Amino acid sequence: MNTGQAILERALEQLSWASTWDDWPKYAERFIRAEIAAGRVVDADRVREACGDPSRPAMLGAVFRSLAQGGVIRRVTVRAADRPSRRAGLLSVWGPS
């Protein structure tokens, strides 16, 4: 098992309950880092699927912004969101910097 896969598996174990914690941003960041380390792209829908919804919606954007400003991720494309509440609005897809 490669390191990225091991990180992802550990993160997923912790993330199944992360949305109930005040530490949601920390767990979302771990998940994003694990996905990137494993060579996958990630978007907000995928983070919500893995981590649940944050207690405040702005938390998710703040995590992506922090990682992008830190040079960990960069926007690679945009796509239509799958969630009905987004009404097919544009969704950023992030990959490694």
All domains in the chain, ordered by first residue: 3-96 (1.10.10)
Q: What is the pLDDT along the chain (97 residues), one digit of tens a residue?
A: 567 777 777 776 665 555 455 789 999 999 999 999 999 999 999 999 999 999 888 999 999 999 999 999 999 999 998 888 888 889 999 999 9
Nearest to 3 by CA among 43, 41, 34: 34
The secondary structure of 1-70 as a DSSP string is --HHHHHHHHHHHHHTTGGGSTTHHHHHHHHHHHHHHTT--EEHHHHHHHH---SSTHHHHHHHHHHHHT
Q: What is the pTM of this model?
A: 0.76
